[in-house]
Structure 1
Amino acid sequence: MTYCVGLMLKEGMVFMSDTRTNAGVDNISTFRKMFAWDVPGDRSITIMTAGNLATTQAVISLLEERSKAVEERNPSLLKAESMFQVATLVGDTLKEVISDNAEEGQRADSGFNATILVGGQIKGGAHRLFMIYPEGNFIEASADTPFFQIGETKYGRPILVRAFDPEMSFDDAVKLLLVSFDSTIKANLSVDLPLDVRVYKTDSYECEHAFRIEANDPYYLDISDGWGGALKEAFGRLPDFDLNKT
């Protein structure tokens, strides 16, 4: 399992993903799930993956190879004229890989399924975020749904729903995501550090902040300890329940 989140802010986008993969409690590995294509002055594209590791690696490898090809007939992330075209390309590639591994034509065997988040900006268009399903179709983030999660989403979602504000700063957005990830990590062994982070500022057409947060990162440890203490303190301030009044 995995956990990846993409946030749409007024001033840009923030992406965060964990790096744990597991095929049982005794077979745990670390694999990168965040990938990027940047052409300074023209485009910045970030992709995060969740699901079958062989499927997601095949998708990323195909996208990489086709981006390096010179033939015009090869679809490429670096030639797409809009983020919608990028999402379509990624969706078609995902469907192609799943179909190649499925037993019956286009029917996607659940064992090969994957879900992908793709976001970024191409010059001439707005910054956009899409969630792509195993069937190759996708939905786009909007003012009503300004963030997407894939993977093990249920533990970290309540925090995002209650605290996310598209007007918040990049710093606060990263802090919020760390709280969401910490809650997920505490509840599910299939999600863990290191965490990969990318921060994209609208109309910059390049990512100035891309980094990895390791398990011993002092700020992450402060967030983890502080969030646990804050929850206990908030619980203590809630009105007491009186069984005698029931």
Structure 2
Amino acid sequence: MSLLVDEKTHVDPAAQIGGDHRIPDESRASRTRSFDVEAIPVPTGREEEWRFTPVDRLGNVFADAPTDVQDGVEAADYQLEAPEGVTSGTLAPGQAPRGTVLVPEDRGAVVASKNTEQALHVRIAPEAELSDPVRLKVHGQGAGRRSNAHYVVEAGAHSTALVILDHTGSADHTGNLEVLVGDGATLTVVSLQRWDDDAVHLGQHEALVGRDASYKHIAVSLGGGIVRVNSNVRYGGPGGDATLLGVYFADAGQHLEHRSFVDHNAPRCTSLVT
């Protein structure tokens, strides 16, 4: 059984009048997933999964382009705050566990994957019980500047942790989040979108929940001109539990969109999407 919940704040009246004349995919889970940019073309807005999104304003984040660097300063700045029990490093494309859970399923995710040379890898030690959250602060350095990112969060078996991603400033940002929840672990991920009003943010967040593990993903979008976050979950063993929560507050001219999908691919797994 698969569960899909789409949350949106913007509907293009012209798209409603014209209707969607495509033949939809038989299954959401069968959507094309690939690391090849050519396999996932730029959407037109007539696709079912893009019909609420103003794709005509997303040309920069759909482009197969590297992160913008000006005078040695990248388009986004990243600061990691990690308590004891957490280690960090980087992963090149094809270096596990990068790419073992998240395979891009939309244009923003595939160009982010290709154009991120080194993914941030955050590891929470097995059986660690973190008293303080792990914080990753992402700050855009300027409107219209393209940034690409990929983060891998790995929670060891029977660990307990809270990870907070906090997006501020302005950029045209594509960011992938890949989450591995070890057997018996309890992990909460909070993604805060507090961008300036001229920022653009596309994100694919993909989690694999281990045997008897618990995963909670909370998406909070308060800022940004266009923000679109996909939160997806699969299970790596029986008994897993996933909770996907989201909230946004949009002003005039903003498009804030959360999309969630849970694939119940293992026995005795539960989920809640709100």
TM-score by structure 2 length? 0.24
Q: Radius of gyration: which is bigger?
A: 1
Greater relative contact order (CA < 8 Å, ≥ 6 in sequence): 1
Compare the two structures and name the one with the higher strand fraction. 2
Report the TM-score when normalising by structure 1. Answer: 0.26
